[in-house]
Amino acid sequence: MALNKNGFSRKTYSDLLDEMEEKLKEQFGENTNLSSYTPLGIIMRVMAFFYAKLWDVVEAVYNSRFIKKADGVSLDYHGGDKNIPRNPATNSYVPLQFTGAPGYIIQAEETYSTEGDIQFALLDDVTLDDSGNGVGQAISVDTGSYTNVSANTIINIVNPVEDIHSVTNPVAATGGSDMESLTSYRNRLLKANESNGKGTASAIELALRNVSGVRSANVIYNKSMEVDNDGNPPKSVHAYVLGGSKEAVAQALFDSISATTQTVGDQSTLIADNSQNTHDIRFDFASVVTVFVKLEVQTNAEFEADGITQLKDALIAVIGGLDSNGEEQQGLTMGSDVIVSRLYSALYKVAGIDDISIQIGLNSDSLGTENIIITQRQVAELKLDDIEVVINA
């Protein structure tokens, strides 16, 4: 049977072919010729091919019941049942600096772009001052991490007018993110099963990670009646969050902590309860620590053509960042140090590696074999372009 006490067992094309051959010989005799060039053999193989497709569908339906095996929209349905939707792709935000005719009013929704045609729309009207200068906030027209453009790259006026002389972004755009990958979403749903209720440590951290745009979160709990070593007051919660909007993070923190818990941090937001009483909710935004890596690899004949990409993706899976497929890997949790010795096991899983040496650092000019220490309000991140691979075949 396909479904028994041991679970579901899918029949393959080969299994179906063997069963059909056995049944046909039972009906027509042991000497029946079922070779691939006979009419009966051809029909048998065509039927087995399509039956195998049906078995694939049945297996997918069975697996869709489980978070660990569900895929695509089936995984989204699991999240819907738990009221934990997949994080969507988000827009980036950036201030735009204008020069032009004094007193000229630049209308909201006017668009400006980079040389690569990544467009941004002005959120509000901007009136140029007596010197012909003005600043306004803009939002990317599209969503995705690629909209986090560098400073001074938004320089094109999509609809030019004589009264606007120039536009630029003095700082980089931030906030743009891709849709959450299936792997990341699945891991988040599995963690949700580990945490029920509110007020518990796991429930608070899960609530923060479920905020759209939040990549990582770490919470420090001072359960004592004394100020701790980090200066947190007694019976307090100090949350460090990477990504997400200030208001959404504060609301998630307010909804998950107990009523008497004191929150700590430089970010402050007033949140209203059901009685419209306001509460000052505090936390801190974490910072990203960019890691640089250099690999010197001794390879053999089994090293594949995309082996370098595999090595880079293996490192990013451990540390965290965007891999070669554009998927965001969570990697190390906030506050976790980058331990060099833990990188070796991931790299040796790539085929064709005889020997490998690893150097890491906080900049490309100062690499070594020392571990990188990460504080409680930091999270390590690795980029593809910051990994140098030297192959010695």
Per residue in 28-67, pLDDT (tens digit) is 888 888 888 899 999 999 999 999 999 999 888 888 888 8
Q: What's the pLDDT tens digit per position in 218-230? A: 888 888 888 888 7
Q: How far apart (Å, rounded) are the C-alpha atoms in residues 26 and 24?
A: 5
Asked, for residue 110, whether it belongs to a domain, the answer is: yes
Asked whether residue 35 is domain-assigned, the answer is yes
Q: Are residues 322 and 362 in the same domain?
A: yes
Structure tokens at 35: 């070779």
For 289, phi then psi, to 5°, come to -105, 110
Q: Which pLDDT belongs to residue 92? A: 92
Burial 206-244 (b: 16+ CB within 10 A, else e): bbbbbbbbbbbbbbbebeeeeeeeeebeeebbbbbbbbb
**267 & 294 share domain:** no
| Residue at a domain's end among 149, 168, 187 | 168
The confidence score (pLDDT) of residue 135 equals 95
Whether residues 279 and 294 share a domain: the answer is no
Final residue belonging to a domain, choices 18, 48, 63: 63
Is 83 inside any structural domain?
Answer: no
| Domains of the chain: total | 4
Amino acid at 224: S
- Would residue 188 count as lying in a domain? no
- 308 and 351 share a domain? yes
Q: pLDDT tens across 236-295, in order?
A: 889 888 888 889 899 989 988 887 788 988 899 999 887 888 999 999 888 889 999 999
* 300 and 229 inside one domain: no
Q: Are residues 298 and 368 in the same domain?
A: yes
Q: What is the pLDDT of residue 97?
A: 95
Cβ atoms of 70 and 64 closer than 8 Å: yes
Pick the more confident residue, 166 or 69.
Answer: 166
219: closest CA among 252, 189, 190, 192? 252
Q: Are residues 385 and 309 in the same domain?
A: yes
Residues 102 and 39 in one domain: no
Q: Examine residue 81 and state whether it is found in any structural domain, yes or no.
A: no
Please report whether residue 148 resides in a domain.
yes
Residue 82 amino acid letter: K
Residues 123, 161, single domain; the answer is yes
Same-domain check for residues 315 and 227: no
The pLDDT of residue 335 is above 60: yes
Split at pLDDT 50, 70, 90, the class of 196 is: low
- The percentage of the chain sitting over the pLDDT mark of 70, rounded to a whole number, equals 98
In which domain, by residue range, is 302 found? Answer: 288-392
List b or e across 49-58, with b for residues whose CB sees 16 or more CB atoms inside 10 angstroms: eebbeebeee
Residue in this structure with the two tokens 């007033």, named with its chain if needed: 270
Q: pLDDT tens digit string along 350-380?
A: 999 999 999 999 988 889 999 999 987 888 9
Return the pLDDT at 1.
Answer: 58
Task: Note the pLDDT tens digit of each residue in 96-136.
Answer: 999 999 999 999 999 999 999 999 999 999 999 999 999 99
> Is 294 found in the same domain as 281?
no
Does any domain span residue 86?
A: no
- The structure's pTM equals 0.55
The CATH number that applies at residue 262 is: 3.30.300
Structure tokens at 68: 């660990």
pLDDT > 90 fraction of the chain, expressed in percent and rounded = 47
Residue 222 pLDDT = 86
The answer on 209 and 163 residing in a single domain is no
Task: Please indicate, yes or no, if residue 87 is contained in any of the structural domains.
Answer: no
- What is the structure's pLDDT at 194? 61
